Chains A and B, each alone.
Chain A
Amino acid sequence: MAFVKKAPFISVLALSALLVLISFLSGPSKAFSADTPSSPVISSQTHDAGVTAAQAAYPPAPKLKAEDYPKVKGLNPRLTVWMAAQMHLWFAAFVLAVPIFVFIFEAIGMAKKDRRYDSTAYEFMRVSMVAYSITAITGGLLLLSLIVFYPDLMKYLASIFGPTMILYALIFFAETGVLYTYYYGWHALDRGARKWAHLFLGFLLNLSGTALMFIANAWVTFMMTPAGVDIRGAFDGNVWHAVHNHLWSPMNLHRFIANIAYGGSIVGAYAAYKFLSSNTDEDRAHYDWMGYAANFVAIGALLPLPFAGYWLTAEIYAYSQQMGINLMGGVFAWLFIVQAVLIGALFLAANYYLWCGLSRSEGGRRYTKYIKYIAFALTVSFLVWFTPHTLVLKPSEAQALGGQYHPYLGPLGLMPAKNTAVNIMLLFTYLSFLLYRRSNRIAISSWAIYGKATQAAIFVSAIANIVYLGVYYGYFTNTVYKVASSVPQVVTTLFVIVSCSLIEAAIYRRSEEAGPYRWGRMPERSQYALFLIAVTFTWLMGLMGFVRSAIRQHWHVYSVMRDASPDAFTPTIGYAARVVSVGTIIFMAIVIFIFWVSNLSGRRPHGGGRAG
């Protein structure tokens, strides 16, 4: 475990480099002196109009030429930055996500007095330590490549965000300190009040990690929806204006929820890897349980994610019609179809894992007959979910259809159909979970039958309501209602999940065991569903991250600072998909290396059953 032991040194080294680079970037913005050419003509709506006295102190964004971009033989600037950014983002998501997962597990372990949660949480902090170092290294690489290839952009951003960059570095230092205290103090702070102090450290770790993400999000979202600058790109002097730009809040929410889901999926993949390589029944049982619990966290966080994504996308459209149409109606729409396919695959994999889980208990056999009906509903919804609006047509097909849209499939390509489909997929995934939870129990309350009937009534009514909202408001009213109807659809889904869970808890308060869960009695093929979920999440993050970034098109900072480099063109979908796919393979290979190296120190500590 020499690598893990060296982690603090590597992190501090990377951080020192970061601070030196920030100090370089935050220097006087001489580059934007009076001889800087004026900025391009842009929309006045998207920026705070007028030049105040404060703005007079800041020069406008520079207007660059191709020769302003340094060249390094053998390296493509865009590809280099792209890969460095993507790797850093994946690892950053990893090290932000795992502490959230660990914190949740430690808290549950304390509440339920179940040591399995605690040992799993500790095991995962050990894995996270190696990833933390790699995150710092890839972050340094990203910063270096940005400064080498896009120095003027970095100077411009630093002239606005300099104070936040210093804050970022300081929080990074604090996070590093908390992280090592949290990890190395795990066993020392294991009992009584000390355990509470340890949990608080976990909270601080997550707080600092989330703060870092929010700060970095401000830089990224400023590049998409700049605020705090005038139409020439001149800063108004108030950092908060630039930070609190149009997309900052939706991006923060989306990434925060996604990180929880991502953390669960990575832990699930780790559990599957360990399950498949286990030699003892005890290890199989432990990693089967870990996989189940991690998958529960991943899918639980996945449920609200489409709605956070919907908010983010709606805000992009609200900010700029151009970006919105490019995103959802233009060429990038095809990556949304790929996204839909991958998300559908996630749902199928998660459900398959639950269906296989019915074999853990003898009582699960009662519910296997329902699998085909759930699968039917999921598949039909899935097909609607990824049906494209603008079709890829052969000329003969286009001629037969008389246009780019299909007369019967066309309506399925619009958002109301997608929103309806995804809500139904969520509900049936919840139903799979509900059946799994019932598999080892038999309700004995006299009113259980009425409770289940109520659940069924709620479920059927909710689906009818979701379909009605989607069809009526989606196709028979104007666009404003069409967009707005997605909200009551989501509320309906959430209502079902909350109300049916409460009724379920009441029904099974008095129950008999139909057969205990036999952890480890899980077919090996089910573990590949966990791998699929982790890889799919990673791939999705890469693809949709590209889309989000690429809709800026030929702008470094949208409508303020133009990209004049030779790479200022939108790559083809195929090229982008290849870059992201290769990145995914490299990342997953490193993750497997991390799994392996973090296990070199010996076997996992066996928590062993419940604490007293």
Chain B
Amino acid sequence: MKIPKPLQFIIVVLVVYGLLKAPGLLLGKPIPQSVIFMYMLFVVIAVLLVMTATDESTEELFAPVRALVEDPSKRLIRNVVFIILPLTAGYIAYGFTKTGGGQAGLRSVHPAPPLEMRAYGKAFDLSTLVNPLRRLEKEDPAEFKRNVEEGGAVYFRNCFFCHGDKLDGIGHYAHALTPPPLPFKGRDTIAQLSESYLFWRIVKGGVGLPQEAGPAESSMPAWEEDLREDEVWKVITFLYDYTGNRPRPLGR
């Protein structure tokens, strides 16, 4: 049996919507409403484009709509549809604007660093700053390994409470923080950043974010009063070593 075009349209749209809602309903990891809205908009457009690519298909798709609007015998169903449609649109609009659950927020997770920063009594040029320990990786691997281990000790004395013992961003205090701490595992945080960037974020923390970097909230403390410069570099080498990531080279 051939499924009528309008029904095909509805089935395809509903199936895609169901697939997009599934991660939230089944796995507790919802696809955000803002993303679902964008996805569904273009899925509907794409399905419409396919179904209007030929005259025959277009006619078949819109014939029921035309009949609904023009056929005098469909007066009752027309009135029902014309009541349901605006109510549905109103409900969707209400869903977007209601305040329960909070408003959607936009945040820069990786705010742009300044060109220069001052810490430890001197100026650092962030566009040229490199990790002084990195060269040991080739020149003196044993010494490098010792620095990584010391960096690990620094991490577990200071950072793991929030960023977690697995460096996954789920430390003991993580759930109390908004925004939550970032994970270092995976390929989408520190793997994308240079070591000078990490140095800046650790030393200056959330309070040191430049105004022009916004909107960029951060729960990160500024560590320049608590950690020495060499300790910061050691913990950075530890982060990359432990997660198997490589720092982004400057200028790449």
Measuring CB to CB, which residues of chain A are less than 8 angstroms from any residue of chain B? 41-46, 317-323, 325-326, 329-331, 333-334, 341, 344, 348, 351-352, 355-356, 358-359, 368, 371-372, 375, 378-379, 382-383, 386-398, 400-411, 413-414, 474-475, 478-480, 482-483, 523, 525, 553-554, 559, 569-570
How distant is A78 from chain B, measured CB to nearest CB, in Å?
16
- Would B32 and A371 count as touching, CB distance under 8 A? no
CB of B18 within 8 Å of the partner chain: no
CB of B221 within 8 Å of the partner chain: no
Task: Find the residue from B31, B101, B110, B115 having the highest chain A CB count within 10 A.
Answer: B115
- Would A400 and B24 count as touching, CB distance under 8 A? yes
- Cα-based distance from A525 to B182 in the complex (angstroms): 48
CB of B112 within 8 Å of the partner chain: yes
Q: A379-B43, A475-B187 are in contact. Are A323 and B31 (CB under 8 A)?
A: no
- Would A390 and B107 count as touching, CB distance under 8 A? yes
Query: Chain B residues with Cβ under 8 A from A414's Cβ?
Result: 187-188, 192
B24-68 CB mask vs A (1 if < 8 Å, else 0) is 100011111111001100110111011011110010000000000
- Give the top 8 A-B pairs by smallest Cβ distance, nearest first: A478-B246, A395-B102, A326-B112, A355-B53, A329-B110, A392-B34, A379-B46, A325-B112
Q: A322-B127, A355-B53, A371-B50 are in contact. Are A401 and B109 (CB under 8 A)?
A: no
- Would B180 and A409 count as touching, CB distance under 8 A? no
- Would A479 and B52 count as touching, CB distance under 8 A? no
- Would A382 and B115 count as touching, CB distance under 8 A? no
CB of B97 within 8 Å of the partner chain: no
B205-224 CB mask vs A (1 if < 8 Å, else 0) is 00000001111100000000
Task: Find the residue from B29, B33, B194, B196 having the highest chain A CB count within 10 A.
Answer: B29
24 contacts between A and B (CB under 8 A): A317-B251, A321-B196, A322-B115, A322-B126, A323-B112, A325-B110, A326-B112, A333-B108, A344-B42, A348-B46, A348-B49, A359-B54, A379-B42, A383-B43, A392-B104, A398-B105, A403-B183, A408-B23, A475-B187, A479-B249, A479-B252, A480-B246, A523-B55, A570-B212
How distant is A404 from chain B, measured CB to nearest CB, in Å?
5
- Cα-based distance from A259 to B241 in the complex (angstroms): 47
Q: A325-B110, A478-B245 are in contact. Are A397 and B53 (CB under 8 A)?
A: no
Query: Chain B residues with Cβ under 8 A from A355's Cβ?
Result: 49-50, 53
Query: Chain A residues with Cβ under 8 A from B114's Cβ?
Result: 322
- Would A331 and B178 count as touching, CB distance under 8 A? no
Which one of A392, A407, A525 contacts B29 once the chains associate, using CB atoms below 8 Å? A407
- Cα-based distance from A32 to B104 in the complex (angstroms): 49
- Would A43 and B32 count as touching, CB distance under 8 A? no
New A-B pairs, 5, CB < 8 Å, besides A325-B197, A403-B179: A45-B127, A329-B108, A390-B109, A394-B105, A480-B248
- Would A359 and B55 count as touching, CB distance under 8 A? yes
User: How many residues on chain B are close to A (CB under 8 Å)?
Assistant: 74
Within 8 A of A (CB), among B169-217: 169-170, 174, 178-180, 182-183, 186-188, 191-192, 194, 196-197, 212-216
- Cα-based distance from A348 to B178 in the complex (angstroms): 39
- Would B113 and A321 count as touching, CB distance under 8 A? yes
Query: Chain A residues with Cβ under 8 A from B35's Cβ?
Result: 387-388, 391-392, 406, 409
Task: Find the residue from B39, B127, B183 having the highest chain A CB count within 10 A.
Answer: B127
- Would B46 and A43 count as touching, CB distance under 8 A? no
Residue of B nearest to A334 (CB): B106
- Cα-based distance from A318 to B247 in the complex (angstroms): 15
Query: Chain B residues with Cβ under 8 A from A482's Cβ?
Result: 187
- Would B110 and A321 count as touching, CB distance under 8 A? no
CB of B88 within 8 Å of the partner chain: no
Q: Is the interface of A mostly helix, strand, loop or mixed?
A: helix
- Cα-based distance from A6 to B204 in the complex (angstroms): 62
Query: Chain A residues with Cβ under 8 A from B58's Cβ?
Result: 523, 525
- Cα-based distance from A81 to B237 in the complex (angstroms): 47
Number of residue pairs across A and B with beta carbons under 8 Å? 206
- Would B108 and A330 count as touching, CB distance under 8 A? yes
How distant is A460 from chain B, measured CB to nearest CB, in Å?
22
CB of B70 within 8 Å of the partner chain: no
Which one of A318, A325, A394, A404 contacts B111 once the chains associate, using CB atoms below 8 Å? A325
- Cα-based distance from A330 to B170 in the complex (angstroms): 24
Which one of A333, A391, A411 contacts B34 once the chains associate, using CB atoms below 8 Å? A391
How distant is B211 from chain A, measured CB to nearest CB, in Å?
9
Residue of A nearest to B52 (CB): A525
- Cα-based distance from A41 to B124 in the complex (angstroms): 12
Query: Chain A residues with Cβ under 8 A from B249's Cβ?
Result: 479-480
Which one of B29, B43, B103, B104 contacts A400 once the chains associate, using CB atoms below 8 Å? B29
- Would B250 and A404 count as touching, CB distance under 8 A? no
- Would B38 and A341 count as touching, CB distance under 8 A? yes
- Cα-based distance from A391 to B109 in the complex (angstroms): 10
Which one of A44, A402, A569 contacts B125 once the chains associate, using CB atoms below 8 Å? A44
CB of B229 within 8 Å of the partner chain: no
- Would A406 and B194 count as touching, CB distance under 8 A? no
- Cα-based distance from A344 to B43 in the complex (angstroms): 12
- Would B103 and A394 count as touching, CB distance under 8 A? yes
- Would A368 and B29 count as touching, CB distance under 8 A? no
Q: A390-B109, A391-B34, A403-B180 are in contact. Are A46 and B246 (CB under 8 A)?
A: no
Query: Chain B residues with Cβ under 8 A from A358's Cβ?
Result: 53-54
Query: Chain B residues with Cβ under 8 A from A523's Cβ?
Result: 55, 58
CB of B73 within 8 Å of the partner chain: no
How distant is B47 from chain A, measured CB to nearest CB, in Å?
8
Within 8 A of A (CB), among B97-154: 101-116, 123, 125-128
- Would A403 and B169 count as touching, CB distance under 8 A? yes
- Would B127 and A321 count as touching, CB distance under 8 A? yes
Query: Chain B residues with Cβ under 8 A from A408's Cβ?
Result: 23, 29
How distant is A142 from chain B, measured CB to nearest CB, in Å?
26
Query: Chain B residues with Cβ under 8 A from A410's Cβ?
Result: 186, 188
Query: Chain B residues with Cβ under 8 A from A402's Cβ?
Result: 169-170, 174, 180
- Cα-based distance from A329 to B194 in the complex (angstroms): 13
How distant is B111 from chain A, measured CB to nearest CB, in Å?
6
- Would B54 and A318 count as touching, CB distance under 8 A? no
How distant is A101 from chain B, measured CB to nearest CB, in Å?
27
How distant is B201 from chain A, measured CB to nearest CB, in Å?
11
- Cα-based distance from A329 to B213 in the complex (angstroms): 10
Query: Chain B residues with Cβ under 8 A from A400's Cβ?
Result: 24, 28-30
Query: Chain A residues with Cβ under 8 A from B110's Cβ?
Result: 325, 329-330
Task: Find the residue from A321, A389, A413 having the highest chain B CB count within 10 A.
Answer: A321
Query: Chain A residues with Cβ under 8 A from B34's Cβ?
Result: 391-393
Query: Chain A residues with Cβ under 8 A from B54's Cβ?
Result: 356, 358-359, 368
Query: Chain B residues with Cβ under 8 A from A387's Cβ?
Result: 35
- Would B108 and A43 count as touching, CB distance under 8 A? no
